[in-house]
Amino acid sequence: MDQNNNAALYVGDLAPEVTEAALFNTFCVVGPVASIRVCRHHHTRRSLGYAYVNFHQIEDAERALDTLNYTKICGRACRIMWSQRDPYAKQLRKNGEGNVFVSNLDPSIDNRTLLDTFSMFGDILSCKVETDKEGKSRGFGFVHYADKESADKAINKVNGMEISGKKLYCTKWQSRNARDGQLETTFTNVYVKNFPVAWSEDDLKKLFEDYGQINGCAISRDEKGKSRQFGFVTFNLTDEAQKAVEELNDCEVDIDGTKEKLFVGRAQSKRERQKLLNKLYYAKKRKEKAEEQKNNDASLFIKNLDDTIDSDALSLLFKEFGTIESAKVMTKADGTSKGFGFVTYEKPEEAKTALEKMNDKEVEGKKIFVDVATPPTWQNRKKTTKWNSYPTGSSPRRGRYNTSVGGHYAHTGYGGMQYAWQFAGSAGRSSETA
């Protein structure tokens, strides 16, 4: 294999102002640099926070990885790793296999210290301590190994180890969806609202103390100390919290002579609440859209499909709800899945049942989205592109219509010279005009 294919480095965690020139000044000290590219947004041209640096020789790339990793560029430490173009390596990075989550880190532990601590257990692809906008440690980090065995070894050895006076907690990395799913069954923090304004923490604690040991209780108050009529109760065990939610939710309490129902549920983060509200909003929209559809609508649109699901697998997934006329997963030019597809049933009732049962269902570790397939219309096909985003009255074609040169398209070339092309039927290219 050509060495040039292995001499490419990924440089991440870059500051927005980092340019190719700044990277060249940093990396040229270890050897001749073949090329540098800072990845930018297609429209705004703002930096995406990462770049690729290519060397002529693999030895120079290895030296840069060893000596320049976590070097500060424009005030922010960069993170260097090998550029992984191999499909297996990309899949390893996506599914989180070999990725270790490390928490309860002391503020003095930086990227280099974390790397030195975990490097003895195997080959590390990437290692970082998460920081805030000011560059201060947030107390947790990630170590991504090249294989699952090294990650398991690191978790067994380092979990519970004391470093810089704090005990580290190591576990296998999980996606947000997986963590949210666990919280629904392992929570201990309970959210309570609609209780009387006069209630204190002691009153709230008295209501919940029959269900188990309470570790904490707090009522939210405004700047004047007045209760906002909601608060939180933390139990010692999950079973105690679940029992309190089941028995006290919708329980009636007396507020100023009237009966009001308490709301008692699992305490959720702001992100979880926003996700739930979005889910309810789009569910309402889907219901409204489904009601507007004609009776012969029997096609479904499915997205967020795993790359391993093809048309046959999609058909097997949905066949239990009725007779399928067609099932198709859309693919790219190289045959890989685009992550979405369509299923058409014989009857609209079958499609409706499949929509209700399969939407938000987890398939191959991913929650799929199912909706009624709507045919494209002229309004949603006409998207803004670089060819139709010109102001009204100007031409989408290259060049500008210039009436002063007799109905030609004029284009300004190098050196300020203006070239004009006549319309069809003319003798071709006209003379140059200054």
Q: Give the model confidence (pLDDT) of 145-201 as tens digits.
A: 888 888 989 999 888 888 888 888 888 887 777 666 666 667 889 999 988 888 889
Half-sphere exposure of 206 (CA within 13 A, CB side): 6
**Residue 102 scores a pLDDT above 80:** yes
Contacts of residues 313-317 at CB distance under 8 Å and 24 or more positions apart, as own/partner, are: 314/341, 314/343, 315/343, 317/358, 317/363
> DSSP letter at 423?
P
Integer angstrom CA distances of residue 145 from 93, 201, 240, 275: 10, 47, 38, 31
pLDDT at 135: 80
Q: For the residues 97-112, what does the mean pLDDT come to?
A: 88
pLDDT at 312: 93
> What rounded mean pLDDT belongs to the chain?
80
Q: Is the pLDDT of residue 57 over 60?
A: yes
Provide, rounded to the nearest whole percent, the portion of the chain with pLDDT above 90: 29
Whole-angstrom distance, CA of residue 92 vs CA of residue 265: 37
Taking residues 402-423, report their average pLDDT: 40
Query: For residue 80, which of 93, 96, 66 has the smallest C-alpha distance?
Result: 66
Predicted pLDDT of residue 9: 92
The one-letter code for the residue type at 245 is V
**Which residues in 174-323 belong to E strands, given as ranges?**
189-193, 214-221, 227-235, 252-255, 258-261, 263-266, 299-303
Bin 52: left if φ > 0, else alpha if -120 < ψ < 50, else beta.
Answer: beta
Burial of 197 (0-12, 13-18, 19+ CB in 10 A): exposed
pLDDT in tens, 222-244: 988 899 999 999 998 888 998 99
| Whether the Cβ atoms of residue 109 and residue 143 lie closer than 8 Å to each other | no
- Classify residue 108 by burial, with Cβ atoms within 10 Å: 0-12, 13-18, 19+: exposed
Lowest mean pLDDT among 101-110, 184-193, 286-295, 399-408: 399-408
Residue type (1 letter), 422: Q
Contact 332, 355 (CB under 8 A): no
For residue 302, what are its two tokens? 């499915």
Sequence-ordered alpha helix ranges (H) in 251-373? 270-292, 311-318, 348-358
Please report where in the chains the tokens 């507020």 appear, as a residue. Answer: 255
Q: Rounded to whole angstroms, how far apart are CA atoms 258 and 206? A: 21
Look at the block and give the residue holding tokens 């009153």: 203
Residue 181 C-beta-side C-alpha neighbours within 13 Å: 11
304: phi > 0 → left, psi -120 to 50 → alpha, else beta; which? left
Which range has the top average pLDDT, 83-97, 123-137, 314-328, 412-426?
314-328
